[in-house]
Amino acid sequence: MTDGRDDGSAAATFCATLVDEWVAQGLTDAVICPGSRSTPMALALADRADLAVHVQLDERSAAFMALGLGMASGHPAVVLCTSGTAAVEFHPAVVEADLAAVPILVVTADRPPELQGVGAPQTIGQTNLYGASVRWFVEPGPPSDAHADNWRQLAADAHAATLGMRPGPVHLNLAFREPLLGQVGDVPVRHDAALLRPPPPELAILVERRGVLVGFDGRPGLIVAGVRAAVNDADAEAILNLSRYMDWPILADPSSGCRVPDPMVITGSDAILRHSAMGELLRPAVVLRIGGLLASRVTNEWLARSGAVQLGIDRYGCCPDPDRVLTAVIHATPAGAANDIVRAVTAARAPKTSVDNDVATRVAGNWRAAEAAAREAIDAVLAAHPESEPAIVARALASVPDGGSLVVSSSMPIRDLEWYSPPRRGVRVYANRGANGIDGVVSTAVGVALTGGPTTLVIGDLAFLHDTNGMLGLARRAVELRIEVIDNDGGGIFSFLPQRDQLSDERFEQLFGTPQTVDLAALADAHGVGDLVTVHHSDRDANRDLHAELNAAVLAVLGDTFPAVLADPFPVG
């Protein structure tokens, strides 16, 4: 008994209170993995008619489904499992959610203290199980009526922590004593005034950084719109407006929200910057990095060597900087930062006497000419090779209906999309680019599709095999999802590394190519989703040759577009 009520009733009421508060905060989805110790929370979630409950047998898949839900909606979903190794399976998705700033409420059931350290079954050390990857870890102990006044605040705090200064996962490790079934008692009353989430941090555009940007007015610059740079139309439009105002082209990642048909948007930087003369011709004096990194190693290394002043803008105040080139990071929404920069430059800008002498305008013109030439060359090669891997990715992007979503796996699909696909409006693009792993990709796409709207996943055969359990129960889920699998019988990306040429074919295939010879269509049929999955067969060596052909075509057309006599756009002094 606990204060006149058995433990089962206390646990049931505790869980009902947490769920009630989360629903009031905006929770719409919960992913539940079957298990015994998690019974009180599973019932509390399932008993809410206003929650969409998704049951998934595999814990790793379930966590990535919750990741996809949070990625697409911007709001946390709950993912629940029982105690023991089940909780360990959540870890990869927790890591991705941390690095990608995706909110998620991770709830693990646990044994009570008296069963810890005595060899009880399904009992492991779950305290701080995910380490520094979570925004907050809380372990309130077995529910007791004596602490009922704190239950709502616990739930509100956990939900708020997922959406704080930098969104991410929160871990609640909830210990339950038997009996695990109990009657729900009186749920504590909700007091709205006491549970308001703290307001978001003030927009923090640094005045001195505005001054730096004012000083670069009229000089060549670039905007690099990386992963999730714009999460809404206001962000995207403000970034495009800044680009036009400053005459600074945008190198746009597919998931940036800015990769749209516009004269200032550059989609072919990877191929363009392979031209030995283009680096100097297009070199910026200042770079604004918004959001995450591009996938292109060629572009990133060129930026690192450029000598430009580089400033990061991020809504969470955290820009990746592996090359250690950022002078500062501005903690601001992209829309707020871009609009503020335009205002500051407008106030300081002197009337231009000759646009022809404006270096930024000339370099921007070179970028536009290079993009037009590269785009024409790339499109011609893809048209001639419609079954090539880059063409499959480009066709998948084109096939998504307006308002739909495209999910692309790490490794080659995200690179082919960034390097060769044309711009497109009306499609949201998602990829697990926090840790850049290939696990959980099918489940992530299922999570995205659960938020509504048609969704297409493009994935390689190894990533597909890594997460076949994402297809568990998929036939019964109310989602509009198509899966395009590029099957090149192994790790296609490794064919682009030095290992391919420096190792024998036998050793390379053993350690890197890793052919699996699995009938992927039959595997989809076994899950009852064969009609949702299309398998495209490809040859890894032919794919490498096709990429070389694409880049050679771009180099050739750039040589015609920019002859050696082209005037140097960077006058001495």
The pLDDT tens digits of the residues spanning 458-483 come to 999 999 999 999 999 999 998 999 99
DSSP structural state of residue 567: P
The closest of 378, 382, 402, 363 to 264, measured between CA atoms, is 363
Q: Is the pLDDT of residue 354 over 50?
A: no
> Which residue blocks in 333-388 are alpha helix, DSSP H?
334-348, 359-384
**Is 405 within 8 Å of 427 (Cβ atoms)?**
yes
Six token digits for residue 383 = 């048209």
For residue 212, the model assigns a pLDDT of 56
Confidence of residue 211 (pLDDT cuts 50, 70, 90): low
Six token digits for residue 497 = 């590394």
Q: Report how far apart, in Å, the C-alpha atoms of 102 and of each of 21, 218, 320, 353, 498 are.
A: 20, 38, 16, 48, 34
Q: Is the pLDDT of residue 199 over 50?
A: no
Instruction: Name the residue with higher pLDDT: 215 or 402.
Output: 402
Q: How far apart are CA 41 and CA 355, in angstroms?
A: 66
Bridge partner residues of 171 (DSSP): 106, 137
Q: Is the pLDDT of residue 235 over 90?
A: yes
Six token digits for residue 222 = 């670039």
For residue 564, the model assigns a pLDDT of 54
The closest of 520, 517, 404, 531 to 467, measured between CA atoms, is 520
Whether cis (ω within 30° of 0) applies to the bond prior to 515 is: no
Give the pLDDT mean for 302-319. 91
List phi, psi (to 5°) of 24.
Answer: -65, -30
List, in order, residues 6 or more apart from 350 with CB less than 8 Å away: none
List, in order, residues 6 or more apart from 400 with CB less than 8 Å away: 406, 427, 454, 455, 456
Q: Is the pLDDT of residue 546 over 80?
A: yes
**Is 37 within 8 Å of 122 (Cβ atoms)?**
yes
The closest of 286, 288, 316, 309 to 203, measured between CA atoms, is 316
**Is 105 within 8 Å of 22 (Cβ atoms)?**
yes
Confidence of residue 206 (pLDDT cuts 50, 70, 90): very low
Q: How far apart are CA 231 and CA 100, in angstroms?
A: 13
Six token digits for residue 402 = 């307006």
List, in order, residues 6 or more apart from 53 with CB less than 8 Å away: 29, 30, 32, 45, 46
List, in order, residues 6 or more apart from 143 with CB less than 8 Å away: 2, 7, 10, 11, 13, 14, 15, 40, 174, 176
Q: Is the pLDDT of residue 197 over 90?
A: no
pLDDT tens digit sequence for 418-456: 999 999 999 999 999 999 999 999 999 999 999 999 999
For residue 186, the model assigns a pLDDT of 94
Six token digits for residue 14 = 């505790």
Confidence of residue 23 (pLDDT cuts 50, 70, 90): very high
Of 44-53, 91-100, 112-121, 561-570, least confident by mean pLDDT is 561-570
- With a pLDDT cut of 90, the percent of the chain lying above it is 79
3-state helix, strand, coil in the chain (%, to 5): 45, 15, 40
Q: How far apart are CA 162 and CA 316, in angstroms?
A: 13
Confidence of residue 375 (pLDDT cuts 50, 70, 90): very high
**Is 441 within 8 Å of 459 (Cβ atoms)?**
yes
What structural domains does the chain harbor? 7-195 (3.40.50.970), 207-366 (3.40.50.1220), 389-537 (3.40.50.970)
Six token digits for residue 543 = 């794919």
Q: What is the mean pLDDT of the chain?
A: 90
DSSP structural state of residue 315: T
List phi, psi (to 5°) of 144.
Answer: -140, 135
Q: Is the pLDDT of residue 331 over 90?
A: no
> Which residue blocks in 277-324 are alpha helix, DSSP H?
278-281, 297-305
Q: Is the pLDDT of residue 160 over 50?
A: yes
The closest of 211, 307, 278, 255 to 101, measured between CA atoms, is 255
- The length of the chain is 573
Six token digits for residue 302 = 């060129």
Q: How far apart are CA 375 and CA 167, in angstroms?
A: 36
Q: How far apart are CA 125 and CA 113, in angstroms?
A: 11
* DSSP helix/strand/coil, 26: coil
For residue 6, the model assigns a pLDDT of 65
**Is 137 within 8 Å of 173 (Cβ atoms)?**
yes
Tokens 């269509």 label which residue?
521
Confidence of residue 568 (pLDDT cuts 50, 70, 90): very low
**Is 11 within 8 Å of 142 (Cβ atoms)?**
yes
List, in order, residues 6 or more apart from 54 with CB less than 8 Å away: 29, 30, 31, 32, 62, 65, 450, 477
Six token digits for residue 559 = 């040589």
- With a pLDDT cut of 70, the percent of the chain lying above it is 92
* DSSP helix/strand/coil, 497: coil
Confidence of residue 192 (pLDDT cuts 50, 70, 90): low
The closest of 101, 102, 123, 97 to 112, measured between CA atoms, is 123
Whether cis (ω within 30° of 0) applies to the bond prior to 322 is: no
Of 55-59, 209-213, 453-457, least confident by mean pLDDT is 209-213
Pairing type for strands 29-32 and 52-55 reads: parallel
For residue 343, the model assigns a pLDDT of 87
**Is 159 within 8 Å of 21 (Cβ atoms)?**
yes
Give the pLDDT mean for 509-530. 95
Six token digits for residue 122 = 């399904």
Six token digits for residue 102 = 């995706």
